[in-house]
C-alpha cells in the first residue's frame, strides 16, 4: 500500500507505515529540524515544506492512506483554546489536500480537547466535511498511549475515514456483507483493547544512533540543536504504535474480501 503524511513532524505516521511494509510517497512538514529527520530516514520520499502553498494533485488517486496530525494548539489545554480562530487551525488545508489527493483512506489525529463540548461544532464540521468529500467516517476513536503498553496516558482523538467510491465498488462486487468488516476490524481499537503487549514485543522506534542521541549520518545538527529539536519533535509526535494498529486494521479490511458462496 502507499502512504502520504501531512504535518509529518519527525515521522510517527511514516514509521508506522514503514513497519507495515507500505511505501511512503511524500511528507509535508514546515519545521526545518523535522525536515532533516524525515530526509534522513526516508530520502526517497518527496518532501513538501508548507501545506498552505503545496499542491498535491500529482498524487491524485495514487495514495491508499493519507495521514496527518493537524496542529493541536487551537484545542490543547496548554494553549489559549481559540479553536478555528487560531491561525494554526490548519484542518481546512488538510481537507484541501484530501480533495486533491483523493486517498482511499484518511487517518487524522488531534488532542482529546477537540472532542470537548467547547469544540463540538468543530468536531462535527470535520466529520461532515469528510462525508461531503465522499468518505464514510467511522466513530472517532479516543485512544491513550497506555493502550499499547506505554507508561503514560497521552489520550489522542483519531479520525478514520474510508472513500465511499471504493466502498461502493467493493459492495457492488462482493455484496453488502463487507459493509461491517471495517467496524469489526477497529472494534478493539474503540474499546482500547488493541493487544497490550510488553515493550519487547512492540516495534522499536528509531532514536539513538550514538551515545549523544545524534544519528551518525544526520549532518548539520549540533548536540544543542538536536536536544532542542528532539524534545519539541517528540512532544508533538504521535505514538507510532497506535497508527500502526490502525493501519493493521485498514490492511486487514483491504485484504479480507468476502467471496460469494
Q: CA 38, CA 7: separation in Å to the nearest integer? A: 12
Beta strand 105-111 with 135-137 is unpaired
* Cell numbers representing residue 45 in the block: 520520499
Q: Is residue 45 part of a domain?
A: yes
Q: Is residue 140 part of a domain?
A: yes
pLDDT for 215 equals: 54
* Residue, of 33 and 224, whose pLDDT is higher: 33
Q: Is residue 261 part of a domain?
A: no
* Residue, of 140 and 55, whose pLDDT is higher: 55
Q: Is residue 260 part of a domain?
A: no
Provide mean pLDDT across the span 24-46: 92
Please list the active-site residues: 72
The strand ranges marked E within the chain are: 2-6, 23-28, 46-48, 65-68, 105-111, 135-137, 141-143, 156-163
Q: Is residue 233 part of a domain?
A: yes
Angle between helices 223-236 and 32-41 (to 10 degrees): 90
Predicted TM-score (pTM) of the model is: 0.76
pLDDT mean across residues, the chain: 75
Provide mean pLDDT across the span 238-252: 88
- Give the residue numbers spanning the domain of 155: 2-255
DSSP assignment, residue 120? H
DSSP reduced 3-state for 224: helix
Q: CA 246, CA 133: separation in Å to the nearest integer? A: 21
- The pLDDT confidence band at residue 156, using thresholds 50, 70 and 90, is confident
For 49-97, the DSSP string reads S-TTT---GGGTT--SEEEE----TTT-TTS---GGGSTT--HHHHHHH
Which CATH number characterizes residue 184's domain? 3.40.50.150
* Number of structural domains found in the chain: 1
Amino acid at each position: 500500500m502507499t502512504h502520504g503524511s501531512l504535518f509529518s513532524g519527525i515521522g510517527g505516521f511514516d514509521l508506522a507505515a514503514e513497519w507495515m511494509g507500505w511505501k511512503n510517497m511524500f511528507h509535508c512538514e514546515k519545521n526545518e529540524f523535522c525536515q532533516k529527520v524525515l530526509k534522513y530516514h526516508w530520502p526517497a520520499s518527496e518532501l513538501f515544506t508548507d501545506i498552505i502553498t503545496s499542491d498535491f494533485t500529482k498524487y491524485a488517486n495514487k495514495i491508499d492512506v493519507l495521514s496527518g496530525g493537524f496542529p493541536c494548539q487551537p484545542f490543547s489545554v496548554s494553549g489559549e483554546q481559540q479553536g478555528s480562530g487560531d491561525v494554526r487551525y490548519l484542518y481546512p488545508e488538510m481537507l484541501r489536500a484530501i480533495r486533491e489527493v483523493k486517498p482511499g483512506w484518511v487517518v487524522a489525529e488531534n488532542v482529546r480537547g477537540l472532542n470537548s463540548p467547547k469544540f463540538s461544532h468543530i468536531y462535527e464540521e470535520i466529520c461532515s466535511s469528510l462525508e461531503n468529500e465522499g468518505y464514510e467516517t467511522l466513530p472517532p476513536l479516543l485512544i491513550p498511549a497506555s493502550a499499547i503498553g506505554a507508561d503514560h496516558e497521552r489520550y489522542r482523538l483519531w479520525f478514520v475515514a474510508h472513500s465511499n467510491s471504493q466502498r461502493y465498488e467493493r459492495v457492488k462486487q462482493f455484496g453488502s456483507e463487507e459493509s461491517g468488516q471495517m467496524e469489526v476490524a477497529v472494534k478493539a481499537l474503540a474499546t482500547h483493547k488493541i493487544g497490550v503487549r510488553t515493550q519487547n514485543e512492540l516495534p522499536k522506534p528509531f532514536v539513538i544512533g550514538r551515545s549523544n542521541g545524534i544519528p551518525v549520518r544526520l549532518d548539520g545538527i549540533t548536540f544543542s540543536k538536536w536536544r532542542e529539536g528532539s524534545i519539541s519533535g517528540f512532544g508533538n509526535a504521535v505514538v507510532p504504535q497506535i497508527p500502526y494498529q490502525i493501519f493493521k486494521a485498514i490492511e486487514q479490511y483491504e485484504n479480507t474480501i468476502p467471496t460469494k458462496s
